[in-house]
Structure 1
């Protein structure tokens, strides 16, 4: 295995680098610490894929690492056979700098490998990617996002045919392929526009949005409740410059919410997240603009989603100010509501089951079991919850109604 100095020199000598990239690497020639941090090892490919800062180097997120990972991913899909290649992959991206570029690079690698690609025509929420994988019956999914991390980061999140992030065996197979193939030589690619023109890459958008929104709104238990408070309930919403900017307000409006107040400054798509230090809805300080707007319009509820719109933070009026509801608290409240509202509507299964991660509050288990709902824990991560739900479905034991973890994610 090459040391970081040898890796650095290898990159400097590569004809794959553009002049701008070569100049970036040349500019750090005298900085041993910086060279080591960029080249000491490859980014580790795990069940959540890759994540790193956007710089040139082996241990960074850049087009060369994207191509390398995607060729490895393509090899794993091809090993599944011709049908898996025809079913293909769905690709999504968020608002971050370079996200669309990385997504298009990945699409070109997949298409050149004979794998059919469906790629969104613009940024979309992460949950819609999982939906698209299942809706179109694709073999896999890919999302270019670093979720709620600082602006310097980007990521490469990978999904399998169930719409959940990769199970360990597939992640290990991709990591093995990455170790086998050369980052600069062992990949094939094509022109994006040509691949769109000949059908190898299929653009998806509005039609998928409509199917997704129909599915989301189909989860509503009692729309009459919304109608009864629609004229009174004022909701402030912020997407933190990210992928929830369009579909979250649209879903709320279609649900019947009439008093919705988006935060104007944060409805602007921007991968630099100029109005917040961290675009993480777990951090109350990021809601300062939303709180100001809520005070101005007299809102009772503030909702914020992270840049890829798979985490939600909530604040509620508390006297003269606003207080945050933690992920643990909101999960318990949602679980309690779902159980009781579905029981009242006559739609609660007799064998209802719910799931949480092992680091999430035990109060959820108490709420579930007190109401006669089966409850189980999994390791942290929705991929493990999805696996548990799939096991229930296959065995016919329990019918899943809700899953969540304390880090502000709900399913």
Structure 2
């Protein structure tokens, strides 16, 4: 795996954070010539496909593909072709939204992801059964999630963008990206990091419950557009199964987790603890919205929707990705910029989550808007971009330093 891949991932993340910061500012003062909806599409695509997807690409290749196979040119070529697709979406979505060029680059990214799934399925060599089954399931969810994208065209042509079918296609894609591909992939990597040892029968029970729960909880976003009560009860069963799976996993791995955390630096403990706490909080929120009135309200109040998406994206997924980057020495726990950048980022995340959910509660209880809410949300978002910038700039500086040192080393040896 090429070390500069990590730099590209963080650069994508920084650009996505700048787009998000601009979106927050547009609530304070609209910017002439900038289309909010188009910019939001650019922000979400770059964050999901430029940061999370590309970082998972790097980590999966590094941790599961044998070292000799990693040197194959196809991995480097595929990385850069995928990055071209990301840059295309980065530039065109804010300019035109869903148009021919942005759809072309989105399609290119999907085909790159299919080829990546094929490569990893064939060449990855996970050390244990839990790692292997979680990784392969993540890849399957990634492929399955794209079926929702392929259905968008027919949905628009037949029923229009306002139809339930169109909205369900979007929710299908997002659900199996976040709760399927992303979550199962980070758990596969986490099991590899903690060197998970668990009885096969116990793991199969956890795994089966978790997969069924992931599929069944799609019923919640479907219920927002189709009012049949059967979707509510399917989601109830899914959430309960997810809770049972989580409890079983904790019971069977508690001692291993304690040993694992005992080997970590304070920063690694912080980011992994943050990710796991966010995961517990996500499950807790899913339990709360089992109340029918709250389930519908969770969709209608946009602050809750954004807060929940960011909890999953920035709290769980990014928390784990930071942990893996630190453990694999892509980031250095003793580097002031890396350590400070992560800490500043987490401060911004906590501040914005509190504001989003608090404002959501204000709206739920008809209490109006928090005083200075939009400007405070913008200010709270600044540390998110600042923290990522600190990490990205330092990674770039390290790359340039190594490049400048290399010729000197060669010259000294020749002398």
Give the structure-1-normalised TM-score: 0.29
Higher relative contact order (CA 8 A, sep 6+): 2
Structure (1/2) with the larger strand percentage? 1
Structure (1/2) with the larger helix percentage? 2
Give the structure-2-normalised TM-score: 0.29
